[in-house]
Structures are given as structure tokens and as C-alpha cells.
Structure 1
Amino acid sequence: MSETTNKLKTVFGQLPDFRRSHKQLYDLESILLIGIISVICGADSWNEMENYARSKEEFLRTFLDLPNGIPSHDTFNRVFSNIDSAQFESCSIQWVNTLLELQPQEVVAIDGKTIRGAKANGKKSPVHMVSAWANENNLVLGQVKVSEKSNEITAIPKLLEVLSIKDTIVTIDAMGCQTEIASAIIEKDADYILAAKENQAQLHQNIEDEFRFGKSLSTHQSLELDHGRIETRICSVMTDFKFIETNNKWKNLTAIIKIESNREFKNLEKPTEQATLYYISSLASTNPEDFQKAVRSHWAIENKLHWTLDVAFSEDASRKRIGNAVQNFSILNKIALNLLKNEKSSKIGVKSRRLKARWDNHYLIKVLNLMKV
């Protein structure tokens, strides 16, 4: 276990301590380690963090120096509310890169999530985070908090700037369909698939015209039967444009994609759902099956990340509001999620894995041993 904690200290020991040295009862590394471990083991609040640590004090003392005992919930709150979030996130990204083995053409989905409980002082909007999810690796690559006076359009380039995404396919919904974002992805030696909707009215109209009048296209049809529904998806790809500007406005634009979905329900009382979605891409491929797979993979960020954070970590109910507490606890959740999802010996859900780690120190050590550097 000492080797594991040394690795943790190597990664997160780079964080500068904002506290005055003569007032420190607990070293920053111990607070960080207890924070990470307690969140893995089910703590969703500062009080639960303290309660977990007190219940496991004997175990924690086997690898942590705790001359003044266990920090109080107020100490955890104060420390995690004041740690510089950008530096904490930078350490987290460095650590993720030690776990990461991105595959060529792996889908990296970028999307935002609102932490609805973190709303205070009459503010209209709660905290919003933009995260990147590596689909095949099952890992959160990083996150950026959206500024209160901004939106995802300005946050996404900041996130791209700190990620290592060479040779991947970055997928983003319509909010990210911006020329600057397309260029930023290409500059990171990656490709993009961006959803095109009415927020880019001229582009959307031009794509519709291409598919209405164009003849040179390839198609692929998929059929999915699941949860009492039958969904047919037809993906069409076109690489020969007549209506879309192919100059540097959309950097390296090589393909436009149309996906037509038809969803029928076994319950005949439910009406059939139909939708047509458009995308632009820098991928050189003309195989519609490749695009079909990549677009479907994008939604893993909703199912495997956002949904799991709400269900297994109760993130949407979080009421943390002071200083950097919301962002830093979100980083803790994502560190825990990365470790728990990549511990393969237990075929149970993430929420159950958190409970198992709390009850079983041997399992917890197995989870922590994934934190290689």
C-alpha cells in the first residue's frame, strides 16, 4: 500500500499549499489522499468524508502520517474550497495520461453537464462543467468549468488546449459547431465530427441542399432492437460539395453526414419517432458505417459519465457552493469514477463498487493500485 500512496503523492503532491505553515495541523497530501479515498468509498459530502476517515482511521494510519488525528469536515471543506481548481485539474489530467492508451480513431466525446444543486445567492444558473470522455478507454480525460458570463463555446477551446488527443475523433453536439473549435481540433492533430443545427443556419441549409440535390453519396443502415423499441438508422455520407464553402472557414472539412432515425415501439400506443440529424467532419473516410459508429459512440458521455455521476455519485444533488468546492469535488468524483470503472474484477455497477471499496480494504487497495505513474 505504501507504493500506491507514494504514487498518489507523486501525482497530486505538486499542488501548492495555500495555507500558512504555522497553522497547519494536517499536511495537504494527507487531506488530498483521504479526500480521494473517501469519495471512492462513497463519501458525497464533507461530513461523510470525515465520518469515513474516522471509521477507517486505523487502516489510514498504516500509510498516512496523522499525528493530529482525522481532519474535521470543516477542514476538508476549507481546503477543497480553496485549492486552485486549474492546478488540481492539471494534476488530474497528468494522472489520466499515465493510464491512457488512446487508440487511433478513438472517439473523444465533449459535452457539458449542469450541477443543478450548486445554485446560490440568487444566481440564475448553477455550475456547468464541460468534460471530455475517451470512449474505448472508459476514462474522463479532463474538465473545464464554464464561466458564469460565458458558455460552452468559450470553455471547449480551453479544454482542448490541455488535452492530448492526437489521432482521435472529437465529437461535439451543435453548441460546439464553431469554426474556431474545428480549427482547434485540427491543430491538436485530431479529427472532428460536429453536429450541425439551426445555430449555424447557413451551414445547416447548405447541408440540406447538398443532400437534396447531390447524387454522389454512400449509405449504411443499422437496426437496433432494445427496451421495447425498434430503431432504424440510415447514415448517408457525401464528400463532393456544391453548396458548402470548402475554403478555410471550416478547416479540413471533407465530409457531411445525414442520419435519419426511425424509432418504432412495441407498445402501439406510442407514436413512431422520426428525426434527421446533420454533421460535418474532417475525417478522410467515405465509409458511412464509420460515421454511424462514431456518432453513436458520442452518447457514451451521457450514459457512462453524466448519468453515472448523477446516479452513483449524486452529483446533481450537490449543494457545495463556497469558493472552488463545486469544481474540486467534481474532479474528485471523476478521479474516483475513472478508477472504479477500470477495476475489472467486480462485475457490478459503480455505485456497488463504491460500497464494496468502503467495506473491503483489500478491494479498495486493488482500485487504488490502478493509480500508476
Structure 2
Amino acid sequence: MITADTLRCQREHVIYLAERGARWILTVKGNQLHLHAQLAALPWRAVPDATSDTTSGHGRREIRTLKVLTISTGIDFPHAAQALQIRRRRRRIDQPKRFTTETVYAITDLRVHKARPAQLAAWIRGHWAIENKIHWVSDVTYDEDRSQVRTGTGPEVMAALRNAAIGALRTAGITTIAAGTRHHARDSSRPLALLGIT
């Protein structure tokens, strides 16, 4: 099972996966305006929730619901068999009346008899866990989006260096990357010791 974010939600990628017999679930966001509009226009109000789960942590409570709709026509995307609507409603525990709701759409080539809604939800949740673990650190801890390195191969080199630093810290058992980065930045011998160079 291949799960991918919106960057990989491209026809060429799906055709490549289909030629190799891979199964997939792809998230669809604003970078696919036409496909996103098609998914949003489906009759979701008439579709009951297929699964729902609630988690609490980090001072907030989150309720996730999944709706699944079999599609045979109307979606202009190769091999799409089912459309998914994922709604995440979050509220801070200390502010129970304030909440945010996010709706995300996805498509899959799996037919209803190949994957139950709970399994689809687990695959999507697993993908988001990986995304959060990798991209949150890059985007927030290392502030990658505001990098001033923009020409030549500079952005790729900096991304590789950030990923190497994150990997080295995680391999050393450091779970809070921001704290680990600060700790190793305070003494120039610490990064060398972490890499086994001293």
C-alpha cells in the first residue's frame, strides 16, 4: 500500500504505480484544483460516517471521521475507485467551546471489498504520523520554508544536511529534535561525538 501527500497526486505517478501492481491512497488538496473541486462536489451530506475515532493529547482533543464513496464516473483521475472525506475536529481541552474543523479529501484505487473503512483510516493516519514526524521538524524546528538559500543546488543540499542532522539525532535516541539541536549547537565537539568522529 502506497500512501502519498498531494505532491505525488499526479496522473503520471498513478499510471507508474498501476503498471507495477501497487495499491495507493493519495491525498488531494488545493494544488489539484480541478480534482479537489470534483471531490468536494460529491454528495457527502448523504453519506454516513464509515468510521470515527477520538484521541486526546498535547492539551487538545481530536475527533476524526471518515466517509467513503464508491466512484464509477465523475472523477477525472485514472484508476480512482473510491473517494474519501476525512474531517478532523480539534478543540483545546482548556477551551471546550472553541474548535477548528479541517476537511481533507483522498482517492484510492482500492475497491470496497479490498479495504474496510477502518483499514483505510489506519493507513491515512499512519501516513500523517510519518508526515508529521518528518515535515513538522523541517518546517517548524529548522524553519525550512523561510530559508534564503534558493539558487542552484543549494536548496537540495540544505535539505539533505537538515535530514542528515535529524537522522543522526533520531539514531542517537533523541526524540525532541529542537532540544537536541540546541544541545549540540552549544559545543562544537558534541556534533562530532554524535557522528563518532572524535
Same fold (TM over 0.5): yes
- The structure whose Rg is larger is 1
Q: CA 1:203 to 1:332, structure 2 compared with 1: closer, same or farther past 3 Å? A: same
- Answering whether residue 192 of structure 2 is matched by residue 192 of structure 1, we say no
Query: 1:186: Cα distance to partner?
Result: 2.7
How many residue pairs are counted as aligned between the two chains?
188
Structure 2 unaligned regions, length at least 5: none
Query: 1:223: Cα distance to partner?
Result: 0.6
Report what 1:262 is aligned to. 89
Question: Which aligned pairs between 1:83-102 and structure 2 lie closer than 5 A?
Answer: none
- Answering whether residue 53 of structure 2 is matched by residue 226 of structure 1, we say no
Report what 2:103 is aligned to. 276
Structure 1 unaligned regions, length at least 5: 1-104, 106-168, 369-373
**Contact 2:49 2:65 (8 Å CA) reproduced:** no
Q: CA 1:187 to 1:333, structure 2 compared with 1: closer, same or farther past 3 Å? A: farther
SS in 1 for 2:195: helix
Per-residue deviation, residues 201-223 of structure 1 (Å, max 9, x unmatched): 663255x23x4556xx7722111
Report what 2:68 is aligned to. 237
Identity of aligned residues (%): 24
Matching residue's letter, 1:172 = D
Query: 1:282: Cα distance to partner?
Result: 1.5
- Answering whether residue 157 of structure 2 is matched by residue 328 of structure 1, we say yes
- Structure 1: how far apart are the matches of 2:175 and 2:89? 33
Matching residue's letter, 1:306 = H
Per-residue deviation, residues 28-87 of structure 1 (Å, max 9, x unmatched): xxxxxxxxxxxxxxxxxxxxxxxxxxxxxxxxxxxxxxxxxxxxxxxxxxxxxxxxxxxx
**Contact 2:68 2:117 (8 Å CA) reproduced:** yes
**Contact 2:64 2:87 (8 Å CA) reproduced:** yes
Higher relative contact order (CA 8 A, sep 6+): 1
SS in 2 for 1:333: helix
SS in 1 for 2:156: helix
Q: CA 1:242 to 1:291, structure 2 compared with 1: closer, same or farther past 3 Å? A: same
Report what 2:128 is aligned to. 299
Report what 2:11 is aligned to. 179
**Contact 2:168 2:195 (8 Å CA) reproduced:** no
- Structure 2: how far apart are the matches of 1:306 and 1:275? 18
SS in 2 for 1:274: strand
Report what 2:119 is aligned to. 290
Hey, which of these two has a bigger chunk of strand by percent? 2
Matching residue's letter, 1:194 = L
